[in-house]
Amino acid sequence: MKKTTFAPVSAPQWLLIDADGQTIGRVAARSAYLLRGKHKPTFSGHQLCGDHVIVLNAGKLSLPPAKGQRKVYYKHTGYVGHVKVASLDQMIQKNPQWVIEEAIFGMLPKNSLRPRMMKRLHVFAENEHPYAARKPLSVPPLA
């Protein structure tokens, strides 16, 4: 019988992603990759080995012209016939942080580590954040 090995997990780093002018999918894919820790040589799928990720300028995402109306978010209140529908444009105006968080949430593995990974995600609509003392490292955007 094989035993699962536990590689020693190093302290998480703080990484900074600027979403200004990028698409939702590229920002979310990069963030999910870093939250999981797949960029580390000690990656192990059953351990929490990812880093803290700070996403700035969530309100300045670049969208294809038709996608803002085509992509729709649904929410059910629990009452019969009470389905709330909002387009991507409406959600970015109302709460741009939620749009990024929802995209990243869907890209993480559906297991008990997902809520713990999401606690390491920090999304801000503007360029300011309260984690300057952590000295976050800037991550280059995906090409």
Mean per-residue pLDDT for 27-41?
95
Residue % of the chain over a pLDDT of 70: 98
Q: What is the pLDDT of residue 9?
A: 81
pLDDT for the residue numbered 140: 87
pLDDT at 143 over 70: no
Phi/psi at 16 (5° precision)? -120, 125
Predicted pLDDT of residue 142: 73
Please write the tens of the pLDDT for every residue from 86-122. Answer: 999 999 999 999 999 999 999 999 999 999 999 999 9
Closest to 70 in 3D by CA, of 85, 56, 82: 85
The mean pLDDT value of the chain amounts to 93
Looking at residues 57-61, what average pLDDT do you find? 94
Torsion of CA 85, 113, 19, 129, to 10 degrees: 110
DSSP calls for 26-72: HHHHHHHHHHHTTTSTT--TTS----EEEEE-GGG----TTHHHH-E
Contact 27, 97 (CB under 8 A): no
Per-residue confidence (pLDDT) for residue 99, from 0 to 100: 96
The domains of the chain, with CATH numbers, are: 14-63+96-129 (3.90.1180.10)
Q: What is the reported pLDDT for 137?
A: 96
| pLDDT in the model for residue 65 | 85
**Per-residue pLDDT, 58:** 94
User: What's the confidence (pLDDT) of residue 7?
Assistant: 75
Is there a contact between 35 and 114 (Cβ–Cβ < 8 Å)? Answer: no
**For the whole model, what pTM was predicted?**
0.91
Across 30-56, average pLDDT: 94
